[in-house]
A and B are shown apart, each in its own frame.
Chain A
């Protein structure tokens, strides 16, 4: 038992060290092509996972909000020559505002109806952006650069990698913290039984709306960072295909724990780089993987890892299987 616990800690520590020292350990290619997309996709996915894990809401508007921030920030920086950092903050604020509006509109619904409303709102954003010339139509906005102190994101991604890693870890810890606060506890209550919470004196729509706005700000941050690391963004960066891609990341990683977002984003990024080399029908393979996860393991890869972990520890300790912790608090530590 102790050996296993130690081994588990060693594995996690090795992952931690690799993540921390990545720019030193690997060629630039790995940082810019794998690490950066993993982090930005993961940040967008975690906004979805947060809503699903603690709010019980599956949103398909996250990429739309990602686009609100990314496209606005890019347009301000490139067309209006606003300082990129300021433009980024304005974009994030706009995404949060849009999130407040979207959230208020969708907040009386849950489940599949919420899914449909957020899909509609996200797609309306997409069609809007692809029609407005100021956002470059389908061409998009090119030569978007991060603030100069983050360096060249393509050739020297070290600085921006550490910056985004910091942002990602920061948001992750913020969300972990948030769910223990009065707001977070109430949000989980709203997830479990909104009618009960109403009878206890909660205006459940306000909780859903605020959670949605917060998730929008996170998705917006992802949008700004993605525009910086790709040095471009277009309406097609938020098409339904991309929306479904983020959903795939969240589902494959596991929608019932925040860690799932990072695992899913990493898995999806690696597959999208190496997959097409093996098959022309990469999208089909991904769809089948997605389908298999939904059918077999609704907890995604995190769910699989957690249950392996529990089984091993159970086998080693020969004790009764501990009751599953609440689906929000996964036992799988961050990786």
Chain B
């Protein structure tokens, strides 16, 4: 068994001449909480897209769960146990909250092409309701996802990523647009996650990020400039240079 969950080697991605991600090396160990920070345009979301398989790298290799997945399509990576959230909520607007969570649970479970619902679906549905409870949507199960408020959509987004019981969870700015109270709930929820799950997190809210993370990677112009514990990050002058003079894009 390989000891790292995520291993990126010399990973690069350029769009029409712009280097969004440049020669990134990274290792994330099982159960780790890793925050990826950096100003807007630092290449954080592109990095997530590369790990999740939504985009193909220009160069370099990606290993997930000790296996080279560089050429594996996104849906197969998801089946290996990877789940993600998106920067803007990507819930399924035509389905109810419960159906959103059920479809998410079914995705990793396999058997998408069954034409008869069976006992497995009953189990998946109860898992979906459990996830709704965890993210605080237990009383909105029957509501259509398009009728949810912004905050509720963020909750559902998180539920969709968690219900599949992934081994690796990529969270892209889960706190964006949330109220202070909602942020606290989110932090609690993330802290309560099982240690079987490895979490990678992009977040502009430093309070949320540094409370949850054990290690932090700072990105700037597509490169990793620094990696360390939250305490080291707080103390490092370069981090202040990168962020100072820039408006916090929250």
Contacts and interface: CB of A to CB of B under 8 A. Distances in A.
Note whether A and B form a binding pair.
yes
Interface of A: 178, 180-183, 185-186, 188-189, 191-193, 195-204, 206-207, 210, 323, 325-328
Interface in B89-118: 90-96, 99, 102-104, 106-108, 110-117
5 contacts: A181-B116, A196-B91, A203-B73, A323-B144, A326-B95
A200 B53 CA distance: 12
Contacts, number: 108
A263 to B, nearest CB: 22
B248 interface: no
B90 A196 contact: yes
Contacts of B160: 196, 200
A188 B100 CA distance: 10
Nearest to A206: B113
Contact of B94 (A180, A188, A201): A188
Interface string B132-169: 00000000000110110000000000001000100000
A202 B104 CA distance: 9
Contacts of A186: 103, 106-107, 112
Nearest to A184: B115
Nearest to B117: A181
B92 A188 contact: yes
Nearest to B112: A186
Contact of A200 (B116, B143, B164): B164
A58 to B, nearest CB: 16
B103 A178 contact: no
B246 to A, nearest CB: 30
A182 B52 contact: no
Given A183-B115, A185-B106, A201 B164 contact: yes
A110 to B, nearest CB: 14
B90 A183 contact: no
Contacts of B76: 201
Given A189-B92, A192-B92, A200 B108 contact: yes
Contact of B75 (A198, A323, A327): A198
B112 A183 contact: yes
Contacts of B92: 188-189, 192-193, 196-197
Contacts of A202: 75, 78, 107, 112
A204 B73 CA distance: 11
B44 interface: no
